Amino acid sequence: MTLRAYRPEDLETLKQLHGRLAHGYPVPDFDDPAFVVGVISEEQGELNAAAFLRLTAEAYLLMDPDAGTPSERWQSLLRIHETVKSEANKIGLPDVNCWIPPDLEHGKRFAKRLEKLGWRQDKWVNYTYRLR
């Protein structure tokens, strides 16, 4: 087995492999600069596996639950959301993720507000690997 960096000429083979896996999502654009790591595994010169890392961001929201009225807190969230979204777009982030604490998720109110802002809950299960 040989490991090497992804090259654009690998794309057609990756598309074929992706199609055989039938995961139901489009082939990512591996040439997008957000893909910062691409590793190809070859066996006797044939691509048999690949792994990629794409930049994303994790959102943290710290908001005083006692400050102002619920309406004022919502307006504050709207303003900060639009500003952070604009900044993320400026630096080329393809997406932002947030993990909702269980005590907020069980009430569903905060999740509904996120959905109103355009966030969606992924159907895919999330796993985290801590590097540090």
Section 40-50 average pLDDT:
96
Residue of 80, 111, 79, 109 lying closest to 98 (CA atoms):
111
Say what the pLDDT of residue 124 is: 87
Section 78-102 average pLDDT:
93
Q: What SS3 state is found at 71?
A: helix
Q: What SS3 state is found at 33?
A: coil
**What percent of the chain stands above pLDDT 70?**
98
- Could you tell me the pLDDT band of residue 23, with boundaries at 50, 70 and 90? confident
Cα Rg for the chain, rounded, in angstroms? 20
Q: Report the predicted TM-score, pTM, of the whole model to 2 decimal places.
A: 0.80
pLDDT higher than threshold 90 for residue 109: no
Half-sphere exposure of 25 (CA within 13 A, CB side): 6
According to DSSP, the residues that pair with 65 across neighbouring strands are none
- Other C-beta atoms closer than 10 Å to the C-beta of 40 total 19
Which of the two residues, 102 and 105, has the higher pLDDT score? Answer: 102
Say what the pLDDT of residue 16 is: 94
Say what the pLDDT of residue 77 is: 94
Domain ranges of the chain: 2-54, 57-116
Section 28-48 average pLDDT:
95
